[in-house]
Chain A
């Protein structure tokens, strides 16, 4: 019997190996390549571990002043644009969305259900259906290539997502607590800000993380609305350089890893909120 349990455990452990390989091999190779220089990258057979590893590609992005190629300079600006845009989107969505979410799930009025379904429904509209009108308005108002146009465009998916996710957190706040606060003479807004919000801090944190991730990941609007350094985001920078062999591929790989770090770190820190967010959301598949 002990033997059988041992064999089962060994068998299960062996099964995890291909999964680990599938997860980590691509990333490790990318990281290793980002540490090598162009000559080593093109060596046949490949050097899986660079013989002359260098952080130069990363340093060039962090200190773009000295960089010779345009790749690190573009990445330095694009990463900052991504941070600015994703943060602004997250902040606006949490502020507006949590207020709306509370009203939708906890204040009974005529249209709770209609509005909730309508808001969830908007999330199913593909970005491409909204693109042309948004593009026309943005170009008439001379907003193309400005961060504000992406912040507005990202509201199309980030705000409904926030409302839906915050709503599901507010629903878990015991109604008895609200009643007790009401009996103590608390107003509706007092209940929201002094009772419901403080209890929902974990929900606010995880919604913040998800909205940031979704905004960081977005590519389609960014591709259409931004082409200059003024508002170009990290995904657009990658897309722009890819396929051009003249450019510094290793520099792009370093840029790609740097673009992946903020969402990966956030997700790992807040990992226990991820599954509830995934099913509440469905935006980031």
Chain B
């Protein structure tokens, strides 16, 4: 973008013609985006100030900040926030640690490292719903692979209905999600590692730094931008997790896996309180857009983020 701004002088005469062409090229996309994104987001914003029962013929009443306030006063809402933060913090932390470990492992070139890198693509590319369904079957109380393995190893005497334990269900969802996201983080960080200059590492080795020191003091600081990108992408995604919860637990047992996106879905459609749903979706938007600002600032300094 910066390059484009410094143009040879001869083009100045073509400026206006260029601008016309630019608008011509952008207009179709811009119209679509305005239609499917900008208008709906404004509509949702307005709707969040109304009591809006589902159905076109039902009357809407203006409630001001009522939807927001009733949410913020509802302990069930705060439970959902805590649960979403738990999911986000636990899954993103584990993903980063494991992703970094796998990236470093591939970078050490063990036997079969190319095949390992190739294999990581598979869980990343499997659609989220298929991933979720697969893990739901693995956890199944009647025929699941988890019960099968533990039973054959003699660790359990009877099949256990794993997904019925309120305190465990979210952790099981996290494991399923990690199957899909650890490879994502590992692939990003592995590419970043491959792009680092080897000289520094070698110089440090000559100076007597051991492998752990070299990783901690040399590679990790150089990887910081790539880690930050992965961290932000994953935090935004994890905070609005919906698909995998819907497919594995459906919010259960006893609402113990309902996340903010799930609650928004419940209010907007099954409960038919679209005003509340709109208010909730704005609370999510507020968080993700804050993250987006972070993210855009990073992307606008590509020399720092490419790693």
Contacts and interface: CB of A to CB of B under 8 A. Distances in A.
Instruction: Enumerate the 3 nearest inter-chain pairs by beta-carbon distance, A residue then B residue, closest first.
Output: A124-B292, A285-B237, A12-B110
A80 B304 CA distance: 43
A247 interface: no
A252 B202 CA distance: 52
Contact of A129 (B7, B32, B233, B282): B282
Contacts of A282: 233, 236-237, 295
Contacts of B234: 285
A155 B30 CA distance: 11
Nearest to A24: B119
A128 B242 contact: yes
Nearest to B102: A19
Interface stretch (A60-68, A197-205, A260-268): A260-268
B197 interface: no
A188 B184 contact: no
Given A45-B152, A159-B32, A126 B127 contact: no
Interface in B5-44: 5, 7-8, 11, 14, 17-19, 21-23, 25-26, 28-30, 32-33, 36-41, 43-44
Contacts of A99: 25-26, 28-29
Interface stretch (B64-72, B78-86, B273-281): B273-281
Interface string B99-115: 00010010011111100
Contacts of B30: 100, 115
Contacts of B159: 44
A122 B236 contact: no
A75 to B, nearest CB: 12
Given A16-B110, A46-B143, A96-B32, A121 B292 contact: yes
A30 B7 contact: no
B205 interface: no
Given A125-B289, A156-B37, A159-B29, A267 B125 contact: yes
B181 interface: yes
A13 B112 contact: yes
A279 B264 contact: no
B122 interface: yes
B222 interface: no
Interface string A114-145: 01110111111110111111101001100000
A181 B4 CA distance: 16
Interface stretch (B132-140, B166-174, B213-221): B132-140
Interface in A130-175: 130-134, 136, 139-140, 152-153, 155-156, 159-160, 163, 171, 175
Q: How large is the interface on B (under 10, 10 to 19, 20 to 34, 35 or more residues)?
A: 35 or more
Q: How large is the interface on A (under 10, 10 to 19, 20 to 34, 35 or more residues)?
A: 35 or more
Interface string B195-215: 000000000000000000000
A113 interface: yes
21 contacts: A16-B116, A44-B159, A45-B152, A115-B26, A124-B291, A125-B37, A128-B240, A128-B268, A129-B285, A131-B281, A133-B47, A219-B128, A234-B129, A238-B130, A249-B137, A256-B134, A259-B130, A268-B125, A278-B187, A279-B229, A285-B184
Contact of A120 (B129, B135, B277, B296): B296
Contact of A44 (B5, B151, B261, B291): B151
A275 interface: yes
A78 B116 CA distance: 32
Contacts of A216: 127
